Structure 1
Amino acid sequence: MNEKLGIPLKVWNGIEFGSYIEIAQEVQPKSDGTKRWIALYALQKMTEEMKNSVHSYDFIKKSKDFMYCVVDFEIPIRIIEFNDGVDVGDAVNLKYFTANTEDELVSIFKKEGINPELFVPPWRCDYPT
């Protein structure tokens, strides 16, 4: 485990040394009929082209000058069940936070009540892409 962040070491190493651009966790939704995820994007691993692509999420474009972006959102289950992909416009209760240091990430996790031990690679929690 990354002692400072509380993220499992194997998962954090995927960000630091591997090919993960994001890690995520599915958490209890705040709204009925939705699924909720929290993701940590390693923006420093994304090329400028990726950050500025027309296909990039708006929160990525707005956060592009930071090292990390933590995003918390919900998607209605009916949209997940009936669509091949998910559009950020489908998100409910979307909020995001930016950080440049691990200390700033720790602060975000504490303030938002995020359990960093629950982060996994995105495919392990059915994170929508």
Structure 2
Amino acid sequence: MEPTLDGYRRWLAIYQPKHEPIRDCVPAHVYSVLDFEIEKTKMDDYFSGEDLINERRYYAKTEEGLFSLLESLNIDLGKFTYPWKCDYPL
């Protein structure tokens, strides 16, 4: 995943919410995907939502739908680690 600007990094965060969406404009889903970019200089510091640019959110109802979404974003699924190999989420 390439950022749109020099000096930035692009990130993709995948969440599995524990509750139904609060807002009506959010479709029912099992997976929530946040795609955003942040300035490289802010990565070692605390940053807030105001520091994110090109923020996009996607939703998937199934694991197959999630994989399809990631593939449509040209994400190499082989670069993800297995959940049991990382300490996040805590």
TM-score > 0.5, shorter chain as reference? yes
Matched, 1:66 2:29: yes
- Counterparts of 1:36-55 in structure 2, within 5 Å, are 36-43=10-17, 46-47=18-19
What do residues 25-81 of structure 1 show as CA deviations (whole Å, max 9, x unaligned)? xx44332111221121112xx257xx77xxxxxxxxx75841101121111123234
Question: Which TM-score applies when normalising by structure 2?
Answer: 0.68
Runs of at least 4 residues off by over 3 Å? 62-65
Q: Which runs of 5+ in 1 are unaligned?
A: 1-26, 53-61
Would the aligned equivalents of 2:28 and 2:61 in 1 still touch at CA under 8 Å?
no
Number of equivalent positions: 82
Q: Paired residue for 1:29?
A: 3
Please state how far the C-alpha of 1:103 moved relative to its aligned partner: 2.2
- Counterparts of 1:5-16 in structure 2, within 5 Å, are none
Higher relative contact order (CA 8 A, sep 6+): 1
Would the aligned equivalents of 2:11 and 2:37 in 1 still touch at CA under 8 Å?
yes
Q: CA RMSD in A?
A: 2.7
Question: Which TM-score applies when normalising by structure 1?
Answer: 0.51
User: Normalized per residue, which structure has more helix?
Assistant: 1
Q: Taking every aligned residue pair, what percent have the same amino acid on both sides?
A: 30
